[in-house]
Structure 1
Amino acid sequence: MIICHTLNLIFFKTKKTGSTSFEIALSRFCGSDCVITPITPANEEIRRNKGYRGPQNFRDTIWPDGTGSSGKFYNHIRAEEARHLIPDQVWRDYQKIAIVRDPFDAAISRYYWEGVERTGLDFGQFIDAHPEYLAESAQIAPFDGPNRIDRHLRYETLAEDVEALGLEGLWDDFAGIRAKGGRRPERGASCEELYTQFPAAAEIVEAQCAAEITRFGYRNPARS
């Protein structure tokens, strides 16, 4: 995650949404007092090669007003947990953002990311065994409630949504970064074909991710 005092912006890092690449690109705007949590060594190398700031101020953070927090920010910290570490004024005044992705598509990426296709589990078995994975991003960056964030950037329209933030060069930089890529095969069954083959998996995703499906109009591919 990133807390950028330069931009009055807090970025919560959801899963399987391109958030690592976005985080690297956003680092270019950060100053010495901003919070930047660590990512993998390979992705830190990408960030370092671009000349951007790396991990800093994520433990026992000192805030611009001189107050401090005793605790630790980390990669996929939930908004609820982060709020306990962030001063009320910062939480209130900063824009809180995250990336949201069609949960049916994100579940497929998570399947390949975990590598479970090599263990003999098919996609349907994976979803049935790990429904808790499906709701993780909504828990990191809630849509409603006291810890809700202000703005969700849609993975499917990310160019437009990033440009709407008004940060010059952010999209071009982000588009040129391919962090954590390469696990999902470029060829293979489409989203519709996979969920038609495993309709029970589609029902599980629909139940676990009802909030974002309703809010953003995502559809069950098994019913298309």
Structure 2
Amino acid sequence: MIISHRYKFIFIKTHKTAGSSMESALAPLCGPEDIITPMESNRLTDIPKNYHANNVIGKVYAQSKLFRKCINRHSNFLGKWYYEHMPAVRVRQLIGEEIWNSYKKICFERNPWAKVVSYYNWKKNGQSRKMPSFEEYVMKKSHRLPMDARLYFDGVNCIVDEVFDYEGFEITFHHLCEKLGIPFTQSMPREKTGVKQEKLGGYQDYYNDETREQITRLFSREIELMGYKF
């Protein structure tokens, strides 16, 4: 997640939509007051900045995984705490209406049937986690699916200015940089690419009628907003 005061935009980070690549690309161009939240892979580097309160509690919470497990990240005890997949509602609450209303709010979304397959394989192979079958994961572990509408909806309405489709990400990203006045002209870095989909077959091959309808039901807001088809 990025809040750029230099370029006046807020990037809400969704799952499996090249958000980490976007963060890595923009981090060197952000200003000293901008907010960049950490990933586990870069938490100890100089890329994340200004995401926690500048006090002892905030610093310890940022450095200690155990501490983060014990205290809810929305606790008033922490002060302002910004994190990777942070809901837009919470971002608005912390930065205030004036900044929220004057900055460009953006995020990326992806065909949910493809997204769930990508997320499942990333968990299973990219993170080497013990996973149930794909069918069991979709039907019985639905609370673990990357239902990202909750990140950019307030429950009823989409509250970001634009939701871009993940397909054609790099072209969209360069156009977006041009629109925001960001001087980025390089090729995109690729973060957390995980398992190559072409080695796994098309995402449709993972589904039966029941799992397909489950995704249709659970991701109804994304499907309606973006017009996705199976």
Same fold (TM over 0.5): yes
Instruction: Find the aligned partners of 1:120 and 1:81 in 2 and give their Cα distance.
Output: 31
Q: Which residue is equivalent to 1:141?
A: 152
* Structure 2 residues without counterparts, runs of 5 or longer: 55-77
Q: d(CA) in 2 for partners of 1:3 and 1:106? A: 25
- The whole-number CA distance in structure 2 between the counterparts of 1:127 and 1:213 is 17
Query: Against the structure 1 CA distance between its residues 212 and 199, is the aligned structure 2 distance closer, same or farther, given a 3 Å change threshold?
Result: same
Give the length in aligned residue pairs: 202
Q: Which residue of 2 aligns with 1:114?
A: 123
Q: 1:202 aligns with which of 202, 209, 212?
A: 212
**Aligned pairs (5 A) from 1:1-224:** 1-41=1-41, 43=42, 54-60=47-53, 70-115=79-124, 119=130, 121-134=132-145, 136-142=147-153, 145=156, 148-165=159-176, 166=178, 167=181, 170=184, 172-174=186-188, 177-184=189-196, 186-195=198-207, 198-220=208-230
Q: Percent identity?
A: 27
Q: TM-score, normalised by structure 1?
A: 0.79
How much does 1:136 deviate? 3.1
Q: Which amino acid aligns with 2:165?
A: R
Distance in 2 (alpha carbons) for counterparts of 1:131 and 1:200: 13
Q: Which amino acid aligns with 2:153?
A: P
* Paired letter, 2:223: I
Specify the code of the residue in structure 2 equivalent to 1:201.
Answer: T
How many angstroms apart in 2 are the aligned matches of 1:13 and 1:150? 14
Shift of the alpha carbon at 1:182? Answer: 2.3
Deviation at 1:77, TM superposition (A): 1.0
Higher relative CO (Cα under 8 Å, sequence separation at least 6) belongs to 2
What is the identity, as a one-letter code, of the residue corresponding to 1:84? Q
Structure 1: which 5+ residue stretches go unaligned? 62-68
Question: How far does residue 32 in structure 1 lie from its aligned partner after superposition?
Answer: 0.7
Contact 1:99 / 1:154 at 8 angstroms: preserved in 2? yes
CA distance in 2, matches of 1:38, 1:14: 14
Report the alpha carbon displacement of residue 121 of structure 1 after superposing the two structures with TM: 2.2
